[in-house]
Structure 1
Amino acid sequence: MYYVNQNIKDVVRIFPPQNRYGYLRLDMNENPEGLPQQFVDEVLEEFTPEYLATYPEPDVFIQKYAAFVKVKPENICITNGSDAAIRYAFEVFAEKGSSVVTVTPSFEMYGVNCNMLGLVHKPVPYSSDFTISIDRIIEAIDDTTDIIVLLNPNNPIGPNFTLEEVTRVISKANQVGAVVIFDEAYHYFCKSSFLDLIEKYDNVLIFRTFSKLFSLAGCRLGMVISNTTIIEYLRKARPSFEVNALALKFGEKIIDHPEIFDALIKTAELGRSYLLNSLEKNHYEYYPQSGNFIFIKPHIDSNMLACRLMNNKILVKTYGNDLLKDYIRINTGSVKVMEQFMNALLEADR
């Protein structure tokens, strides 16, 4: 019998649903409308047969992105989405059998990677009022801990951490020799970032992605921003050609067109404002928090509502755990998208 890694054999995976094209996709925190069609067409015109036949060359994108976020190119490691960033960071900075502290619920791939790599996942649960205790996070950090993960804002529940709170976590991490990851996939939706901490501390990593605000979930473009020593370790762990040419070219062109960035921000803000006002007007209990997602407590069973909405070609997220089982989560979009959702919600939720 051939060998199979026992960690891989035992891991439980729930893969994302398929056949989502043609639906209003509010279930996975994507931009439901994407980038402007004219912009997409203009970028695609640059894809010649020669360009596609050449291995990707990431330096142009890295230099542009470094200037965009105001760091040096050597502070950036690009990855095949944030999923790959998690894997590399865990492989490099966590010894087998060590612990990884996160909050729960959170992005599932942190727990999945712990299981696959033989690490001990130590999730700190949210309270029933959707708050998280920084004291409980610090209490969970001990001599077995190699990595602490804080999402800023968290997904799926989105409160932000304060600078004072994260400074306490970093201090405790330094005491036990651990690194701290700040996953900032949604930071553009809350205008909060701990990016400047990479210059003050030598054990801080920032994760970013082009999947959310920048609407490139289908291209898979993520990055880690940190000090040069950590970045060098991560680059050694990657494949030679980590990010594809399509993703790099679209990333470059978005940075080249700041008006695209501004329009995406404005569209997100207007749509969110419309949705919150509509929920208030119709007397819904909701938790806006931060990010591009909102929890809504429907009047009927959440799973029943999700089925009714799916029959109306609208996808929303439901949960099985006790904290979130009575809610649906949707990602926000333009005013047009939020109007479509609200009309469907009011029809189905009765």
Structure 2
Amino acid sequence: MINIKPLLEQVQRTQDTGPSRYYKVRMDRNERTHPFSAEFVEKIRSRIDSDLLVTYPEPGPLYDKMANFLHQPRDRLLFHTGSDLSIKSLFETYISPKDKILLHRPGYAMFSVYAKIFGAQAEVQFFDAGLKFDYDEYIGRIDGTFRMAVMENPNGFIGTAPPEKKLREFVETCEENGVLCVVDEAYFLFHDVTAAEMVDRYENLIVVRSFSKAFGLAGVRGGYLISRKENIANVFKVKPMHELTAFAILAMDTLLDHQKEVEVFIRDTKKDLAFLKKGFNDLGIETSDSVCNFIAARLGKYIPVIEIKEILDKQGILIRRPFEEAHLNEWVRFGTVPVPYEQKVLAVVRDALEQKRRRGTDAEV
């Protein structure tokens, strides 16, 4: 057998072989959980024909439409098949073996995966056990020895966003030290503070975004970069032959023409988020101050998370495992879903807490 590259020997990836997640209540991966309207789905269906299937993708019109939506010049945008490939393209363009990069955890796993694949030396700063993060310390670590520094705005596991002042300080400090500044805005539109407004002033800034979260198109795999045209031209050099599939282009293009679908989802999600947060808090369970379509709850401090997960699995409701960091393993991320399903989840948690209380009372007797 031919040996793999030495750098890949340290990379461990787990293949998803679990049961299908289709047609279940998905609180585990922060997808859109309110269905698109039947009219919108029919609009997409009506545009699918033989030419779409047999012709290589033509993303040009989508670039123009997206540039207009973002109020950015077209030459500042570059699409990819998911934001994970947008991130990979940055490593392909800028990162060499032994380059230092600065990451935070929890954070999007693919940054750490690509760091290993490309031989980078990752330095990591953690959120503390109460989900607080020392932004001053993080920014203070940035110096000219780093090649790349990453900040999620907001964080994809906790849902909190860096204060706008700290986000700006992060971008400025990277610029002053000649460090590639990557701001991951996968949850753009749920949160209205964006680093994209700084692209004019900072030449080292690259913003990464996704069509999977607020846009709700996780199944079509669409992501994109925003940066100075010179940076986009450099990243373009490692672009695959076709950055998006024809179906992804069709779906994304159609959604930009039907922005009400996104606006209604964001509005409903805010209501779901408020209900879920209050529900956990009323049960005495601490939660994160999320601005996204999910919340982190300190469920494991009171009851075994695996018990709750097993009960909900039987009801067709999927939740995520606890955070993998040892000091954060009391916390679990719950994606928002329509309120009736959130009521079911809260009822299961309430029953588990009550059973624990009764067991404690019986033990005292």
Letter in 1 for 2:329: K
Deviation track 1:31-68 (CA, whole Å, cap 9, x = no partner) reads 12442233112211111011111111111111111111
1:342 equivalent in alignment to 2:346? yes
The Cα of 1:326 is off from its aligned counterpart by: 1.3
Match of 1:188 in 2: 189
What is the CA distance between 1:285 and its match in structure 2?
2.1
**CA-atom RMSD, angstroms?**
1.8
Q: Can you list the C-alpha shifts for 1:205-226, whole angstroms capped at 9, x where unaligned?
A: 1111110111111110000011
Counterpart of 1:330 in structure 2 is: 334
Contact 2:185 2:209 survives alignment (8 Å): yes
State yes or no: 1:75 paired with 2:79: no
The aligned counterpart of 1:238 is 239
1:4 match: 4
Structure 2 residues without counterparts, runs of 5 or longer: 356-365
Deviation at 1:201, TM superposition (A): 0.5
Alpha-carbon distance between aligned partners in 1 of 2:136 and 2:73, rounded to the nearest angstrom: 34
Describe how 1:238-317 pairs up with structure 2 within 5 A. 238-298=239-299, 299-317=302-320
| Pair 1:288–1:165, CA change in 2 (3 A) | closer
CA-CA distance at 1:121 after TM superposition: 1.1
What code does the residue aligned with 2:223 have?
G
Corresponding residue for 1:207?
208
Number of aligned positions between the proteins:
350
Give the C-alpha shift of residue 16 in structure 1: 4.6
Unpaired runs of 5+ residues, structure 1, are none
- 1:157 is the counterpart of 2:158: yes
Which amino acid is the alignment partner of residue 10 of structure 2? D
Question: Match for 2:90: what amino acid?
Answer: A
Aligned to 1:189, the other structure's residue is in SS state: coil
**Where does 1:168-183 land on structure 2 (aligned, <5 Å)?**
168-183=169-184
Larger Rg: 2
Q: Give the aligned residue type for 2:193.
A: S
CA contact (8 A) 1:306 1:328 kept: no
* Equivalences for residues 88-237 of structure 1 within 5 A: 88-237=89-238
Q: Give the aligned partner of residue 57 of structure 2.
A: 56
Letter in 2 for 1:98: D
Q: What is the distance in 2 between the residues matched to 1:127 and 1:297?
A: 13
C-alpha contact (below 8 Å) 1:122/1:140 kept by paired residues: no
Structure 1 segments (4+ residues) deviating >6 Å: none
The change in CA–CA distance for 1:128 and 1:328 in structure 2 (over 3 A counts) is closer
Deviates more, 1:163-172 or 1:149-158: 163-172
Aligned to 2:358: none
How far is 1:117 from its partner?
A: 0.8
TM-score normalised according to structure 1 size: 0.94
- Could you tell me the percent identity over the aligned residues? 24
Change (3 A) 1:306 1:324: farther
CA-to-partner distance for each residue in 1:73-121, whole Å, 9 max, x for gaps? 1110000101001100111122221011011111111101100111111
